[in-house]
């Protein structure tokens, strides 16, 4: 981010506009919505600029720019029609320490005016750092269509009503109140006028003294790509007060949470004493929820697939904490999509098995005879370290050495790796491909015939 978005208080500020062009007129139309004092310096000016000056809306000085024009100014817009003149004025203004915008010339500017959706006092600014103004205008048009022209009235009412909300209230309760105030019911009240808005607020305020019931939501973060997150999961992230997340949750997904949410990484790493114990995670969820917080237990993939969700749900229900589950795309499903191969296919397999190698004792007790049968297809989660064991067990129970295997590491992420081969070379394939991160190992899933996925025997794609 090269430009940090801010909103300037322009009450009683002096703004300078150098040039009398159409570009300057466009900036003036925005600035006229503020309470700033506007001065235009230009030997010639558009008729509308002249008319605004005659009406007393701005001060037009019909002459060329002089460096003294910059004195006492807060910000300068420049569009003389001459790139050379624009550059000279910009240099003077930046040396004077002013905010400078040369229209359509980011290189000579230190400030960019965003595309704005104006529902005063609600203002939404959209910027592309000068790279794609057409895109910014398209997004502005889409927001203009979605937001009621009267939405500003609801925001203005909130400004008057805020003083009635006690700062002694916990922040999560205040936030919940305002969330409900700006809900569809609030927008409906806005249509009916100020009295309806105040009645809506009074009804909400009357209920804030009731003890707030905390809750826990087990949320599936999916395999990694934020675009694979469900809409319901995204909404939950915006509502969370506390987010307890696994180590493997993609940082881009955490960025989608509201800024005030408290993040706690509760990842469990095999063999590390600093890892969180399951009992500690459950105790923290209960503690936070009893304090009235909305707690998101954010798990990579789907919480109901090797996510110990049953244990957490049982602990929460025993503590009388409300709990919900929002599923996510589990890694095996995302990995099969990356391979462009169905997990089940007529004539090949009518069932599909998910295994985990996390618990090696239980892993050793699987029905390896059935898994080794022709037509068996299964996926192993967390199986990289156990690949040699898997290979040996399957071959010992009669699996064909040329049984296809596919491995997808960091599925759906920018550094995703796909490698394919056969069962008799599984452990060598993992070693040669350098697979270390979270990976799904498919046994019995044939190589794709798609030309978009390179076919490298015992290799990496």
Q: What is the pLDDT of residues 103-125, one digit of tens each?
A: 989 899 999 988 899 988 899 99
pLDDT at 359: 66
| Topology adopted by domain 14-113 | Rossmann fold (3.40.50)
What number does CATH give the domain 332-460?
A: 3.30.950.10
Q: Which pLDDT score, from 0 to 100, does residue 275 have?
A: 80
pLDDT at 250: 93
Rounded Cα–Cα distance for residues 269 and 275 (Å): 6
Q: How far apart are CA 243 and CA 227, in angstroms?
A: 19
- 61 - beta bridge partners? 41
Regions of the chain with pLDDT less than 50: 449-461
Q: List, as one string, the DSSP characters of 422-436.
A: EGGGHHHHHHHHT--
- Strands in 353-356's sheet, in edge-to-edge order, are 353-356, 378-381, 439-443, 404-409, 417-422, 459-460
Hey, how many other C-beta atoms are within 10 angstroms of the C-beta on 416?
Answer: 17
Here the tokens at position 96 are 């004077």
Residue 452's pLDDT is 42
Q: Which of 246, 250, 302, 424 is catalytic?
A: 246
Name 418's Cβ contacts closer than 8 Å, sequence gap at least 6.
338, 339, 406, 407, 408, 409, 453, 460, 461
Residue 285: both structure tokens together: 């969820």
Tell me the pLDDT tens digit for each residue of 316-354: 999 999 999 999 999 999 999 999 999 998 888 889 999
The β-bridge partners of 378 are: 353, 443
The C-alpha atoms of residue 41 and residue 19 are separated, in whole angstroms, by 6
CA 42 to chain centre: 45
pTM: 0.64
**Domain limits of the chain?**
14-113, 151-206, 215-329, 332-460
Q: How far apart are CA 306 and CA 36, in angstroms?
A: 60
Cα angle 180-162-119, degrees, rounded to a multiple of 5: 70
Does 268 qualify as catalytic in the annotation? yes
> Which pair of structure tokens corresponds to residue 2?
């090269």
Q: Using an 8 Å Cβ cutoff, are 390 and 441 in contact?
A: yes
CB contact set of 29 (below 8 Å; sequence gap of 6+): none
Q: Do the beta carbons of residue 363 and residue 386 sit within 8 Å?
A: yes
In order of 169, 215, 319, 350, the CA distances from 284 in angstroms are 23, 12, 12, 42
How far is residue 171's CA from residue 176's CA, in Å, rounded to a whole number? 9
State residue 204's pLDDT score: 84
**Measured CA distances, 25 to 21, 55, 152, 190, 280 (Å):** 6, 15, 25, 33, 62
CATH placement of domain 215-329 = 3.40.1010.10
382 phi-psi bin (left φ>0, alpha ψ -120 to 50, beta other): left
| Dist CA 89 CA 94 (whole Å) | 9
* pLDDT at residue number 138: 93
3-state SS of 330-355 is: CHHHHHHHHHCCCCCECCCECCCEEE
pLDDT computed for residue 455 by the predictor: 38
Give the pLDDT score at 210: 60
Neighbours of 82 (CB within 10 A): 11
């Amino acid at each position: 981010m090269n430009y940090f978005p801010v909103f300037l208080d322009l009450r009683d500020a002096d703004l300078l506009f150098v040039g009398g062009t159409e570009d300057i007129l466009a900036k003036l139309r925005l600035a006229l919505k503020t309470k700033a004092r506007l001065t235009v310096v230009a030997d010639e000016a558009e008729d509308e600029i002249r008319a605004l000056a005659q009406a007393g809306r701005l001060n037009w000085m019909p002459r060329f720019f002089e460096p003294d024009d910059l004195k006492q100014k807060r910000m300068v817009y420049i569009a003389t029609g001459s790139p050379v003149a624009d550059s000279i004025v910009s240099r003077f203004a930046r040396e004077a320490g002013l905010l400078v915008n040369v229209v359509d010339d980011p290189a000579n500017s230190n400030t960019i005016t965003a595309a704005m959706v104006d529902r005063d006092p609600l203002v939404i600014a959209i910027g592309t750092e000068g790279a794609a103004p057409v895109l910014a205008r398209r997004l502005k048009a889409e927001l203009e269509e979605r937001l009621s022209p009267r939405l500003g009235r609801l925001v203005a009412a909130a400004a008057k009503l805020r003083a009635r909300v006690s700062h002694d209230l916990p922040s999560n309760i205040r936030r919940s109140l305002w969330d409900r105030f700006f809900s569809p019911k609030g927008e409906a009240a806005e249509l009916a006028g100020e009295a309806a808005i105040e009645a809506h607020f009074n009804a909400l305020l009357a209920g804030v003294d009731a003890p707030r019931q905390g809750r826990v939501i087990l949320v599936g973060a999916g395999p990694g790509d934020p675009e694979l997150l469900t809409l319901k999961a995204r909404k939950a992230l915006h509502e969370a007060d506390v987010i307890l997340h696994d180590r493997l949750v993609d940082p881009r997904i955490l960025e989608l949470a509201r800024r005030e949410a408290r993040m706690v990484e509760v990842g469990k790493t095999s063999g590390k004493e600093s890892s969180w114990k399951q009992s500690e995670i459950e105790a923290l969820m209960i503690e936070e929820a009893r304090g009235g917080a909305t707690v998101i237990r954010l798990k990579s993939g789907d919480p109901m697939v090797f996510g110990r969700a049953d244990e957490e749900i049982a602990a929460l229900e025993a503590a009388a904490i409300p709990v919900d589950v929002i599923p996510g795309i589990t890694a095996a499903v995302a990995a099969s999509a990356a391979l462009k191969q169905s997990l089940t296919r007529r004539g090949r397999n009518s069932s599909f098995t998910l295994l985990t190698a996390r618990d090696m004792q239980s892993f050793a007790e699987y029905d390896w005879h059935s898994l080794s049968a022709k037509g068996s297809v299964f996926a192993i989660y967390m199986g990289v370290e156990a690949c040699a064991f898997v290979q040996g067990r399957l071959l010992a129970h009669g699996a064909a050495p040329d049984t296809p295997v596919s491995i997808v590491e960091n599925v759906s992420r920018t550094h995703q790796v796909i490698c394919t081969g056969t069962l008799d070379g599984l452990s060598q394939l993992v070693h040669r491909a350098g697979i270390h991160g979270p990976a799904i190992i498919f046994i019995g899933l044939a190589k794709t015939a798609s030309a978009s996925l390179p076919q490298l025997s015992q290799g990496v794609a």
